[in-house]
Structure 1
Amino acid sequence: MSSFHDAASVAHYAQGPVRQVPGFHALHRMTELLLAEHVPDDGRILVLGAGGGLELAAFAEARPRWRFVGVDPSAPMLALAERTLGPHASRAELIQGEIDAAPAGPFDGATCLLTLHFLDAGQRLHALQQLRERLRPGAPLVVAHHSIPQEPDAKSRWLGRYASFAASSGIAEADARRAADGIGSRLPLLSPEQDASLLTRAGFTEPELFYAAFTFRGWVARRPLSSD
């Protein structure tokens, strides 16, 4: 989105997710724990959509020997990520670009949080396939993003709940409603069933739902142990 390239918007980025994403900090903690089921103590993690650095900082604080490669198309967001990482910045390589700019790996795990909803189905499938190719066999991938039913009444109902949560968290009600309307009209949202299917089509094992919070869903899946 263009706001991720705007310096003023980026400066206030960290205030947004906590007020818009139910259980935002818990999502990071759950993601770290799911990764740790298979990632070694000295593992290397690929973070797609790393701009801002909030999840990178959470993972780095919890796992002092993990190393990271963070990829994001926005230079201002990557600069913010470096500042957010603070003393942990030396453990993270930050790369401007999309998934094709990421090193080949193999990585011990990967995440893509609050990012895939900006991509249409074809772009998502490509990103997931490229993530899979960069993981060692058996390595986990954790994703979470907007994912809601696409029937008009159900879609409107869930977006209304998103707006209500944002307003209850301190965002002006009119702004929360505009944000929800923008998400519904401008983002290429998919249903949870479509999102889970894309993970399977990309070559991951059957995805497990671990996070459901109003309009957001999160899954953990693994590259099969076979190297095929």
Structure 2
Amino acid sequence: MNLSWHDKHVKMYDQQIAKKIAGYDLLYDLTNHFISKHHQPIQKMLIIGAGGGQELYSFSAVLPNCCFTAVDSSEPMLARAKERMEQIGNHVEYVLSNWQDYEGTTQFDAASCLLVLNFIEGIEQKTQFLKKIYDSLKPGAVLFIATMMNDDEYFMKLHLSAWKNYMLQQKVANEHATKFEETYEKSYHLLREGELISLLSSCGFTSVGHYFQSFLLAGYICIKGDSNTHQ
């Protein structure tokens, strides 16, 4: 959020993002609860945008024996993830790469893509991005995705005004909160909920459910279906 993923201040990301997103920790807590209740064992999990280490740190608490593949295009952010995981002990493969350029062949039981899709331009690129995730998952696997969303003009303005108010309450500098409000639609490549669900369905996900909302940030759980998905 108005932060260079390659600058020297990347270690401040943990504190900054939690102040700017209401319920940031709750997003990970809720995701953990869904992970723990997934109908299939999760032995291999893909994390797209793993830099910073929040997903690894959070998910390892409920998946202590899982092998994680952590993909991120920012070397400083990936280094921060490694630093946070030093004392945890999970097996993690760190991959410095854009997801679009990732060449792994592993089939995963689960994947997360939190606060990444909104940086991917255009419907075609988003479709290719999501289809690649789908193809990397086993039948019955689960994807957790959270992204900044679009809305009607009135509600967009209302959300952004309230969001700015939240940031100011969290002691975010007025200039940063104001810039976020004024540049939101230009800073992110946004979809409406119907568009996102349609894209996910077109890629092959058979079940998509909304499980998190914070102002214009929404989280969805998506299942790559098979004959035993809901048994």
TM-score (norm 2): 0.90
Matched residue, 1:117: 118
Verify the 8 A CA contact 2:119 2:188 in the aligned structure 1. yes
- 1:103-138 CA-partner distances (Å, limit 9, x unpaired): 222101000001111112222211110111010000
Corresponding residue SS for 1:87: coil
Task: Please state how far the C-alpha of 1:89 moved relative to its aligned partner.
Answer: 5.5
Matched residue, 1:157: 158
What amino acid is aligned across from residue 112 of structure 1 in structure 2? C
Verify the 8 A CA contact 1:49 1:112 in the aligned structure 2. yes
Task: Please state how far the C-alpha of 1:98 moved relative to its aligned partner.
Answer: 1.8
Task: Please state how far the C-alpha of 1:39 moved relative to its aligned partner.
Answer: 4.3
Task: Please state how far the C-alpha of 1:223 moved relative to its aligned partner.
Answer: 0.7
Distance 1:79 1:89 in 2: 16
Task: Please state how far the C-alpha of 1:162 moved relative to its aligned partner.
Answer: 1.9
Matched residue, 1:26: 26
Matched residue, 2:66: 66
- 1:58-113 CA-partner distances (Å, limit 9, x unpaired): 11123211120010111111001101112236511110112241522210100000
Task: Please state how far the C-alpha of 1:38 moved relative to its aligned partner.
Answer: 3.1
Verify the 8 A CA contact 1:148 1:216 in the aligned structure 2. no
Matched residue, 2:47: 47
Distance 1:90 1:15 in 2: 24
Distance 1:130 1:2 in 2: 26
Unaligned 5+ residue runs, structure 2?
A: none
Task: Please state how far the C-alpha of 1:40 moved relative to its aligned partner.
Answer: 1.4
| Change in 2 beyond 3 A, CA 1:13/1:116 | same
Matched residue, 2:173: 172
Distance 1:176 1:2 in 2: 13
Instruction: Work out the percentage of aligned pairs sharing the same amino acid.
Output: 28
Matched residue, 1:212: 213
Verify the 8 A CA contact 2:69 2:95 in the aligned structure 1. yes
Counterpart of 2:131 (choices 107, 129, 132) is 129
Structure whose residues are more often strand by fraction: 2
What amino acid is aligned across from residue 141 of structure 1 in structure 2? L
Matched residue, 1:92: 92
- 1:135-159 CA-partner distances (Å, limit 9, x unpaired): 000000010121131x333322222
User: 25-34 or 72-81: which moved more?
Assistant: 25-34
Q: Flag as ranges the 4+ runs of structure 1 deviating above 4 A.
A: none
Distance 1:30 1:2 in 2: 26
Verify the 8 A CA contact 1:146 1:216 in the aligned structure 2. yes
User: 63-72 or 86-95: which moved more?
Assistant: 86-95
What amino acid is aligned across from residue 148 of structure 1 in structure 2? N
What amino acid is aligned across from residue 83 of structure 2 in structure 1? R
Over aligned residues, Cα RMSD in angstroms? 1.9
